[in-house]
Structure 1
Amino acid sequence: MWKSPLFDVKKKVVILATGWTTTVNGSDTIEVFSKAYNCRGDVNFVAVDAARFVDTLYTWSAFNTEEIGENIALGLVKLLDLVPVENIHLIGHSLGAHIVGSAGRHLQHLTNQTIPRITGLDPAKPCFNEGEALSGLMRGDAHFVDVIHSNPGVLGKRDPVGDVDFYPGGMSPLAAGCFSVTCAHARSWEYFAETVFPGNERNFMATRCNSISRLRDFRCPGDEVPMGYAVPQNIKGNYFLEKELEESS
């Protein structure tokens, strides 16, 4: 694929891995992300179809993430012949977040090179807890790991796992306007995709804080930073915000 005439080696590369039971041909996630990045026009957008590996019992799917990540890393080794590592950004939703984390770790072992940025969108919680066999996405998988938690403690992990972790709406498992955990779980990629569209980079401004209640009480005095596409890659810690999705997105 890297040698396809549609692939421009001069542009950056964004690789998206989707979650459990999501396929390339039936995914709103991939459709929205591809539209957003095509609007920018400055990247090669690539979607990983891991459906055959993660369209099964959830536990088996979870244990396949490490192997899928290893295979992606082997593909990235070939990509590095054409594109410098600093031009690669990996994004994963749900189980896909753990897949790209694994890819980042395996690429380090294979080449001693580190991906500059990995974005985890509500990394899957079941089977990825402390003390269990699967470690999942973690800081160190890339130079900078940013994470958006939209269904913390249920389908998504609650604890911070990146260099910076965003909690839109706080620790509540249901985002505003959501009446199911699946809706909330999807909000993470919807938030991020909205910020990819040109002009939307600062739609979701967050403040470093310990809780949403402290934020509401104006007890978090730090500067606001954008969540999503334009996040500063030198920040650390947990950030909270209350802004809702734009109706137009």
Structure 2
Amino acid sequence: MSRLRVHTKTITLILIWLAVATHVQAGLFSIPDLGKSLQNIATGVSKDITSYIPTPEGIFESSKNLVAGYPFEVTSSAINSICSSALSSQTIRSRVTPDLKEMQFQLRTSCNKYSYPLLDANQLWRGPEFDPSKKVVILATGWTTTVNNSDTIDMLAKAYNCRGDVNFVAVDIANYVATLYTWAALNTDEIGASLAEGLYVLSQIVPLENIHLIGHSLGAHIVGAAGRYFNYKTGKLVPRITGLDPAKPCFNEGHVLSGLQRGDAKFIDVIHSNPGVLGKRDPMGDVDFYPGGLDPLPKGCLDVVCAHGRSWEYYAESVYPGNESNFMAKRCTSQTRLLENKCPGADSPMGYAVSHELRGNYFLEVRGAAPYGLGANREKIGRQATCGLCQEKKEE
């Protein structure tokens, strides 16, 4: 999209020339002065305009977002406003009340899945399959996904099991995020409060600094609420929450559903892959990453569902050993300035190895197909295909 925009400098030069012409008419400048200024403007424009001629790829990406991206952004914004207003007036109430007895934690090893009741998390944390000497990653997924029917959980579990130094746990919230979206949204706060109780038990067994919460879509708001309620209960903050394209509709700071927000953890990093449509566009964390910029559809995606899922695909790729620097980003004000090399400062990794000292908005380029990171080594990626899988199944 940036290559189709007329450069600001060009517009400024034209406006200056128009101002000069006005002054000539008023008798303040002479015709020779005007001719010289016109020549200078033409020279400047001719030097500048070549870098803004659209490429075929640029035309396709821009057209794709105009047809299948931005119209959905307008619709999403309207739905978001209506939903927030309805929630504020209490005209919408969840008809599906979460039954905590049905919710579970599911520990994923390379070969097995072990499920334990959310209300009796001690069974899991003290079970033989759980290793208290390792770090703990807890993932909550989004709308219409369940623990045994989620590519998000499967891919992230595989990536973390490849590392081998983490207990990877998925939150099985039954069908309480598979209901009508507005009901599911209303359930996020209550589910987060219940998750916080499980975190409290876990923090008695595992050092708090070893706990990392990750949430995709509605799941990002669930773990945000969990971090908030854990803080209310203990006065402490979990060290890190990662939000993967946090859901946009119905969630607005200061309204009934605020969702994930700064202060829910010591450090919050957010990856936006479908900004403004299914995912939030505004910064929400200590550091917010915009792979591909603010366009609703990143490279390789022709619909918003694909775009919404790219956030966890990017993150999962970064988890594998050796992939920590696949996604290098710069603090910047826009993707346009990034492409123009006008973003000062050092590159910083997005994803698994993010620095907890980062603050602000970071932009980066990505590929349209896996491996998505520009720093990816294809040979290394190929070797990771079986990493994290059950050795018994591989031998079969």
Whether TM exceeds 0.5 here: the answer is yes
Partners of 2:200 and 2:253 lie apart in 1 by 30
**Pick aligned residue for 2:371 from 239, 246, 249:** 246
How many residues are paired up? Answer: 249
Q: CA RMSD in A?
A: 1.1
Retained in 2: the 8 A contact 1:24–1:49? yes
Query: Which structure 2 residue ranges, 5 or more long, are not aligned?
Result: 1-123, 373-380, 386-396
Equivalent residue, structure 2, for 1:102: 225
Name whichever of 141-150 and 20-29 sits farther off: 20-29
The one-letter amino acid of 2:285's match is: G
Write the mapping of 1:195-234 to structure 2, written as runs, cut at 5 A.
195-234=318-357
Equivalent residue, structure 1, for 2:210: 87
Matching of residue 146 in structure 1 with residue 272 in structure 2: no
Partners of 2:281 and 2:165 lie apart in 1 by 33
Matching of residue 61 in structure 1 with residue 174 in structure 2: no
Residue aligned with 1:145, SS: strand
Retained in 2: the 8 A contact 1:21–1:51? no
The one-letter amino acid of 1:156's match is: G
Matching of residue 13 in structure 1 with residue 139 in structure 2: no
Query: What's the CA shift for 1:131?
Result: 4.2
Matching of residue 74 in structure 1 with residue 235 in structure 2: no
Q: Which has the higher strand share?
A: 1
Retained in 1: the 8 A contact 2:212–2:238? yes
TM-score (norm 1): 0.98
Please list every run of at least 4 consecutive aligned residues from structure 1 whose deviation after the TM superposition is greater than 3 angstroms: none
Retained in 1: the 8 A contact 2:293–2:335? yes
Write the mapping of 1:36-185 to structure 2, written as runs, cut at 5 A.
36-185=159-308
1:12-60 Cα offsets, whole Å, 9 max, x none, are: 1000000001111111111111110001110100001124211101001
The one-letter amino acid of 2:371's match is: E
Retained in 2: the 8 A contact 1:39–1:197? yes
Retained in 2: the 8 A contact 1:20–1:51? no
Residue aligned with 2:175, SS: helix
Query: What's the CA shift for 1:147?
Result: 0.1
Q: Which has the higher helix share?
A: 2
The one-letter amino acid of 2:246's match is: P
The one-letter amino acid of 1:62's match is: A
1:186-206 Cα offsets, whole Å, 9 max, x none, are: 000000000000010100000
The one-letter amino acid of 1:123's match is: P
Query: What's the CA shift for 1:69?
Result: 0.4
Partners of 2:178 and 2:195 lie apart in 1 by 18
Partners of 1:52 and 1:67 lie apart in 2 by 14
Partners of 1:215 and 1:35 lie apart in 2 by 33
1:55-103 Cα offsets, whole Å, 9 max, x none, are: 1010010010000000000011111110111110000000000000000
The one-letter amino acid of 2:216's match is: H
Query: What's the CA shift for 1:243?
Result: 2.1
The one-letter amino acid of 2:319's match is: V
Partners of 2:174 and 2:143 lie apart in 1 by 7
Retained in 2: the 8 A contact 1:22–1:51? no
Retained in 2: the 8 A contact 1:170–1:240? yes
Query: Which structure 1 residue ranges, 5 or more long, are not aligned?
Result: none
Partners of 2:254 and 2:224 lie apart in 1 by 18
Partners of 2:246 and 2:252 lie apart in 1 by 11
Partners of 1:122 and 1:97 lie apart in 2 by 8
TM-score (norm 2): 0.62
- Greater gyration radius: 2
Residue aligned with 1:123, SS: coil
Query: What's the CA shift for 1:150?
Result: 0.1
Name whichever of 143-152 and 19-28 sits farther off: 19-28
Partners of 2:257 and 2:264 lie apart in 1 by 14
